[in-house]
Structure 1
Amino acid sequence: MEQRALPSSISGARSFGDNSEVEGDRAVLPPGSELEDFFENAAVGLHIVSNDGTILRANRAELDLLGYAPDEYIGRNIREVHADPATIDDILDRLSRREHLQHYRARLRARDGSIRWVEISSNARSAGGRMINTRCVTIDVTEKVKADELLREQEQRLALTYDSAGVGIVEADAEGRLLRVNGHLCHLLGYTQEELIGRPVFDWTYPADVEVDRAKYRQQVAGKIKSYAIEKRFVRKNGSMFWAVVTSSSVLDASGQFRYAVRVQHDVSERKEIEAILARRAEEQAALHQLTEMLQHALTPEGVYEAALDAIQRGLRCQRASILLLDGGSMKFVAWRGLSDAYRAAVEGHSPWSAADRDPQPISMRDVEHAELPDSLKQAIRTEGISAVCFIPITEGGRLLGKFMAYFDEPHDCTAEQLDVAQTIARQLRFGLERVRTQKAAQRLAAIVESSHDAIVSKDLNGIVSTWNGSAERLFGYTAAEMVGKPIATIIPEDRLGEEPLILGRIRNGELVDHFETVRRRKDGTLVDISLTISPVRDASGRIIGASKIARDISDKKIAEARIQDSERQLRD
């Protein structure tokens, strides 16, 4: 067969007919053959290197990969192209020992200085036991390497995020057994990873919350739901408890079947604690509001006591309560709930304060068993089943009036907030009792005023009538509806209008106007002789806010006086 050399710009080699022969250490291919066409137009890089590393031939894909022209690449030493000398030395050494290389990863330096990652598959062509040249396939894997590196970075970042996340993260199989846990969950539960892996995720769930979570998880494994979220309690290794929001999401296989679940546990104990505090504050405020409302309608001390006991039990969340007031220097029960007669008889009269104490403060006994109390008192409390007690003084101006007691069936610390609520209840209780007493006194006074034979009138410092009793109606002829809100000058004759400013002036100065005899005009226009006694009216702070006037009809007295004067005149005459 006729042989001819290939153009050097393409092949850089001379042809020869038999692959077993070598001419000048140059590899040849039959010109125009299918093998020549395959080599030159292969989709992957192909090159042939001599035993000293000289590039004998390279196809278009190889040249395009690195950006070289044929005369820039062919004839160079392959070591100049490799970015890592140790790599090419290892490749040539292994090929010289007749090893076959498969997908050997290396870095090649392109003409523009950039680096291309390649995988080289190669073997050696030998004669007489000596390597003549190599035959190499070069596959560009730069993008794959970049993708692998990016994936590796992402996996590292994900692993770092997984382990460093501020939430507990686990992976669980269809049975709920833990496949993987992160460090934060170990911290939350107090277990090591070795102690957790392989155990069911429900093992650390608070018993009352297990079934709800398990039922949801079964639905998730069955494919009925892809994810769910639940709030539940966990039990730590040391026995303490915390709340967490658990979000469980399914990871499916290519066929859409459940593989495992990723469960994220976010500790919400602080939020739950805040919610509980807010709920307690709301309940306390509701108790105080209800107490205020009930006291407004309480007409008797018993009504006040019932309202206060409701507020004590609701606001302090105690199981029993009582109210005691000082009576003859000793504390006496006036109202109670849940206390036996024997207990009340045993403890009545006992008090942590004396009647002479000023500004007594609340006292809280967390555990009565460890309190310093007389043995007889402690035995009575123990028999009653009381574990903790809170003493709240009822005072007025620093003076002890009584106390109320809150009883707890279990040891209990009364917080500062609870003590604030308790003291507010004590103040409201005192106000309520004062109000009832004041109402009774006002009712007695009103009865006295209404039954009085004298006209009793009150007015402000501007002379405007505030009250007008029945005797005033009878004396002056005006009804209360006609006079209340009207000037007192309505009943003063014109020639005596100057008296009113003088009277109000004396009242403003705190003076008493006693038995002032004057004349007033009735509704029918007739005049009536009266005697006035006028006293200042003061508010709680002692400020004068008006006047109380008692008017007595002295017409008969005046007639009698006139008769006496007439008789005396007649005797003189």
Structure 2
Amino acid sequence: MPQSEVKDPILHQLGERIKELTALHTTAKVFQKRNTLPELLQEVVSIIPPAWQYPEAAAARIVLNGMEFKTNNFRETRWKQSASFITTDGKNGVIDVYYLEEKPPESEGPFLAEERNLINSLAEMLKIYMDKKLVEDALLESEERFRTTFEHAAVGITHVGLDGRFIRANRKFCDIIGYDCKQVIGKQFQDITCRYDVETEAEYKDKLLQGRIHTYSIEKRDIRQDGTPVWVNQTVSLVREPSGEPKYFIFVMEDISDRKRAEQERKKLLHDMGERIKELTAMYRAMEIVQQEKPVRELLQEIVETLPDAWQYPDVTAARIMFEGHEYKTADFVKTEWSQVASFHTYDARDGLIEVVYLEDRPPEAEGPFLTEERDLINSLAQILRSFLNHKMAEDALAESEKLYRTLAEAAHDMVYIIDESERLVYLNDYARDIIGEDPHEFIGKRARGLYPPETAERHESSERHVWATGEPVYFEEFTEFPSRSLWTATWLVPVKGKNGGTTSLMGIVRDIDARKRAEEAIVNAEKEISKCKKTPS
């Protein structure tokens, strides 16, 4: 599918958990109101649909001892999730959640396993609320359960006074910030917050105190006792007195440093693959241009116009080619101090050069502001020009240029292939053997779908059709079972455009990301365990 449609599974999971925590927290606040029981139950039932995965198609009902409370859109369907409860004085109750239209199957019909936990928790909260009005022991039991959860939770939990000082903190919180629990009490929360995040957090706290929001969640950096930063996801709510006056804040903190590192690695992977695609496209486009039956001057001008897009900062890139005293350049070319040059010399002693400049300063890389791969690219382009100019009218020019391109592709630690308009493979590099486990030469001239199992091939053909139709590249990650091995791969499908701007072929680059995906999977599983602890009502 297109890159824009790919969802980050970690962010989606966190979003669902936040909705569930919000429902629990909002329900708890409703219980603090001095409403009649019918008013309370009607308000609680309105909280339920937004906490489910498909809120626009959800309806809810609470039945208690013959009384019925439901949302305005309520009707019974075959997609139902229920949780029953019985109060200590013998009243039977049930919470029903219905989907008004069919949704994809999950753990329990169309419902998530976490939604089962959530509806059970809501039922339990209703039971506890009504029980504690009858028996004081129910309140004591709830408080004991809270203390146990607080002390043994897999997430950091702390209470912070209105003056910003820590009142109480559990062991996990202290472990995250690297302090002994006795050292934490009495400290200001600003003492452990990164100075870049202090102002943002203060603004959110003010909104809580003013009643403009009921809770907030932010990703921020805290500073451990040893001075090192730690990334956390922090959810904060405000506890109020029965009179409505603010009492103290509850901070729930999760260490997300591993996820942040994974996100940075993924971002770097996407950036690196994007740069390699631009470079390969420039090489391929240059070889296409030199095959045209045109005067040399026209071909050199056409090539120079393609160069800026292949560099890391195309918006501030200009280029020129010098040959036989003639200059071929982009319209914005001027000499600057940020220059990268590659010279070439023909067999008949004619000299030329390719020069790429940045029009403004950029961060330092391997060669001034230029990447190592850009040095390799400009050198390869210079060799292509040298070969082309030496053998303009000979078949050897095309053969040598294509060999240079294929050498670049063969040197890559990625599977690189090209598909023509008939959807057949015209090129597949030797590294493909490491991905598919078979001889890549056996696939040349065959349909590209033969590289993959049937289900995977259908997804690839759908993505290929999208690239042919839109002229836009597509990136996707998938788990594929090849005959000799199974692994996660990242794939870029990129259009190779002809002179008229139309797509003439597709280039695919496939990278082995199995190690990274398995690391991300471990992080997701850990966060699921953490989210279960967050659902325990306080």
User: Structure 1 length as normaliser, TM-score?
Assistant: 0.33
Structure with greater Cα Rg: 1
- Bigger relative CO (Cα 8 Å, ≥ 6 apart): 2
State the TM-score, normalized to the length of structure 2: 0.35
